[in-house]
Structure 1
Amino acid sequence: MKKIFGPIGIIVIILVVMSLLFIPKYNSLVTAEEGVDSKWAQVENQLQRRFDLIPNLVESVKGYANHEKEVIASITDARAQMGNAQSPKEQAVANDALNGALSRLLVVVENYPNLKADANFRQLMDELAGTENRLAVAREDYNNEVQAFNKTVKRFPGNLIAGMFGFEQKEYFKAAAGAEKAPSIDFSGSGKQ
C-alpha cells in the first residue's frame, strides 16, 4: 500500500504545486487583459467626445466660411472614417486623417478674425483642445497597459499559460505612416475670392 501511495502522493504534490503557480498567473493574465480593455475604452471615450464636438465646430465655421467647402468636406469624411474604424490600427489611421483635416480647418479660421472672436467657436475650440489633451493621455495609458500585458504574455511561464488559454498580444495605438510630418498647408490657394 505504501508503494502505491508514494507515486500517487508525488503526483498529487506536483499537481498542487503546479496549480499554486498556475492559478495566480492565469488570474494575472485575466486582470492584465481587463486593464488593456479598460484603457482602450478610455481612448474610445475621448475619440467619441471629439467625434461629437466636430459637427458643432463645423457648423460654427460654415456660417463664416461658406466657400471653404473642401475643408469642411474633408473633416466630415475624416469623421465618418473615424466612426467606422474598429481596431486600434484603423482608429489610428482615421485619427491621423482627422488631425490633418482639423489642422486645415485652423488655417481657415486664421482667415476669419470674426470667427476667432465668436464666443461659441472659442468655447468649442477650447473643448476640442482639452479633448485632444485627454486623448493623448488616454493613448499613452493604453499603450503602457498593452506593454505590460504583452510582457506578461511573452515571459515564462506566462507564455505557456497564455498559449493554453488563447491570450494573445494586444495591438498598440500607433500613428499612421507619415504622421511624424507636419501637414503641408498652402496659403496661396485658400479658396478666398
Structure 2
Amino acid sequence: MNKIAIIAACFIAPILILVTMGIMYWVNHNTLVKLDVACDSQFAEIDNMLKRRADLLPNLVNTVKGYAKHEKEIFVAVAEARTKIGSAKTVKEKSLASSMMDKALGRLLVVVEKYPDLKANQNFIRLQDELTGTENRIAVARTRYNEAVKKYNTKIRSFIGRLVAGGMGLEKRDFFEIENPEDKEVPKVDFES
C-alpha cells in the first residue's frame, strides 16, 4: 500500500503543480487583458474629450474673430493646435498636442479680455461654459487614464505578471503627462500692471 501511495503521489503532485500553474497563468492573463482594455478605453475617453474641445474651438474662434479681426496669429495657432490633436496617435503625441492647444486657448482668452462687449456676448458665454466643462472632463479623463495605466504597469511588473505579459507581448504604458516644462510652472499674476 505504501508503494502505491508513493507512486500515486509522484503522478498526482506534478499534475497538481501543472494545474495550479495553469490556473495562475489563466487568471493573470485575463487580468492583464482587462487592464489593457481599461487603458485603451480610458485613452479613448481622453481622445473623445480632446476632439470635443477641438470641435468647440472653431465656434469660439469665429465669435472672437468678429470682435478681434487683427488678432490673426492667435487664430492660426488655434487652428494648428486643433490639427495636431486630430493627427496625434500616441499618448505622447496627444499630450504634446494638448499642451499646444492649452497655450493657444490661453492666448485666445487674453485677446477676449481686451473686448468687454465680447465677454458679454451670450454666444461667447455659452461657448466658454461648454469649453470649461470640456476642460474639466479632460482633466477627469486624464486622471482615470493614468489610474488605469498605474494598475496595468504595476501588474506587469509583478513576478507572474511579467512572465504572462512577456508571453502576450504587453509592454509598459506611458502616463498622460504634461510634456512641456513651461506648462508645469505656476502662472504669475500681476495686478500692478
Q: TM-score, normalised by structure 2?
A: 0.89
Letter in structure 2 aligned against 1:30: V
- Partner residue, 1:144: 147
Letter in structure 2 aligned against 1:181: E
- Partner residue, 1:64: 67
- Partner residue, 2:17: 14
What are the within-5 Å matches in structure 2 for residues 48-63 of structure 1?
A: 48-63=51-66
User: Which of 13, 24, 27 is equivalent to 1:24?
Assistant: 27
User: Which of 170, 180, 185 is equivalent to 2:184?
Assistant: 180
For the 8 Å contact 1:150–1:169, the answer to whether it is kept is yes
Matched, 1:114 2:117: yes
The share of aligned pairs that are identical, in percent, is 43
Per-residue CA deviation, residues 75-114 of structure 1 (Å, 9 max, x unaligned), is 1111111111111101111111110011010111011111
- Partner residue, 1:188: none
5+ residue gaps, structure 2: 189-193
Equivalents in 2 of 1:21, 1:73: separation in Å? 55
5+ residue gaps, structure 1: 185-193
Equivalents in 2 of 1:165, 1:70: separation in Å? 48
- Partner residue, 2:84: 81
Equivalents in 2 of 1:20, 1:182: separation in Å? 50
User: Which of 154, 157, 160 is equivalent to 1:154?
Assistant: 157
Equivalents in 2 of 1:146, 1:102: separation in Å? 28
User: Which of 47, 50, 74 is equivalent to 1:47?
Assistant: 50
Per-residue CA deviation, residues 128-173 of structure 1 (Å, 9 max, x unaligned), is 0000011001101100110010000001111111111111111110
Report how many residues are paired.
185
User: Which of 123, 126, 133 is equivalent to 1:123?
Assistant: 126
Equivalents in 2 of 1:22, 1:53: separation in Å? 46
User: Following TM superposition, by how much is the alpha carbon of 1:5 offset from its aligned partner in structure 2, in angstroms?
Assistant: 6.1
Q: Please tell me the root mean square deviation across aligned C-alpha atoms, in Å.
A: 2.0
